[in-house]
Amino acid sequence: MKIVVHIEDAQQWQNALAQAFPDAQITTSDAPPPARANADYLAVWKPSESLLREQTRLKAIINLGAGVDYLLQTPGLPDDVPVVKLRDAGMGELMADYVRYGVLHFQRSFDRYLAQQPKAHWLTHEVPDKADWPVGILGLGAIGTHVAKALSGDGFPVLGWSRSPKQIDGVSCYHGEEGLADVLRQAQTLVTLLPDTAATRGLINAERLALLPDGASLINPGRGTLLDHDALLSALGDSGHLRGALLDVFAEEPLPEFSPLWQHPKVIVTPHMSAPTPLNEAIDQVIDTLRAFEAGEPVATVNRQAGY
Ligand code: GLV
């Protein structure tokens, strides 16, 4: 069995795989083309077109992240090879912490204190009850579900929304177009954790932002394409409809230097760092997947049509 790995820190992944599969040939993508060609499996995050085109006998591609949008959009991806993605694999808890940080930033008025500090302005703000701070979570995949349960466990009312109906303990679940409007109308903080697909691109547009309560805040650690950034800027601007936004992902990354989001006083920009794939937790899933393929057992694969 030959496995080619492509990700930052590929060496560590290579070592971990070599321990699990001592007889396998495991190579990183910085090996010369002959050594990285003709793999049985690719374990990759954002592989190059050439790495994909060099393969002739792939049995599967394992995407070392939760979102498959980059992979599915890479030219050279063979049509007939199953793609498997990581499901939670430790990213859910990292994401829950990122979202907690954002929710508390607004609920505990850190945005206001940061604005007061340069003016040496000593003024405390009332702390709203968590019970009065509904958090809307769009996207209830493995990560969205983990985040929804975590925030609900913290005492926030959580409204979750997904394309198809779901049931999650402690979370009010909504679905469909009507359900989306219901969540938006209530969410004091809106969190977007949907994948980038034809159905989600531009979902959070001016019309939908207008449904949020006055003073609502937005956290987008999902994908940059979910959100119309011009609409966000105007909702944050003169109308003052939205209080602020914490953004981790952008349609173009790195976010271009001239983007007004960098300098906006109500926006926090982070460089796509909310939930990096933790090797220790993800590696077992990768190993199980490889074993299942080798044993001819069924493996849940990505639905390329749906895009996730
Ligand atoms: C990161 O963006 C991921 O999809 O895992």
Render 179-224 in DSSP notation, one character per residue. HHHHHHHH-SEEEE-----TTTTT-B-HHHHHHSPTTEEEEE-S-G
The residue-averaged pLDDT of 27-55 equals: 97
How far is residue 3's CA from residue 90's CA, in Å, rounded to a whole number?
23
Q: Is the CB of 66 under 6 A from ligand 1?
A: yes
Could you tell me how many residues make up the chain? 308
User: Among 8, 46, 91, 285, which is best to mutate for testing ligand 1, by the most ligand atoms less than 8 A from CB?
Assistant: 91
> For all residues of the chain together, what is the average pLDDT?
97
- pLDDT tens-digit readout, 91-125: 999 999 999 999 999 999 999 999 999 999 999 99
How far is residue 133's CA from residue 140's CA, in Å, rounded to a whole number?
19
**In the annotation, is 223 catalytic?**
yes
Q: Is the pLDDT of residue 132 over 90?
A: yes
Please report, rounded to a whole number, the percentage of residues in the chain having pLDDT higher than 90: 99
CB atoms within 10 A of CB 181: 15
**Which residue's alpha carbon is nearest to atom 5 within ligand 1?**
65
Report how far ligand 1's centroid is from the alpha carbon of 101 (Å).
19
Q: Is the pLDDT of residue 238 over 90?
A: no
Q: What is the largest CA-CA distance in the chain?
A: 66
- pLDDT tens-digit readout, 16-35: 999 999 999 999 999 999 99
SS3 61: strand
- pLDDT tens-digit readout, 76-94: 999 999 999 999 999 999 9
Nearest CA to 76 among 61, 65, 92? Answer: 61
pLDDT score at 239: 81
pLDDT score at 283: 97
**In the annotation, is 243 catalytic?**
no
Active-site choice (146, 163, 223, 229): 223
Q: Is the CB of 67 under 6 A from ligand 1?
A: yes
Q: Is the pLDDT of residue 261 over 90?
A: yes
**Of ligand 1's atoms, which has the minimum distance to the CA of residue 70?**
4
Beta bridge partners of 41: 3, 60
**Which residue's alpha carbon is nearest to atom 4 within ligand 1?**
67
- pLDDT tens-digit readout, 176-208: 999 999 999 999 999 999 999 999 999 999 999
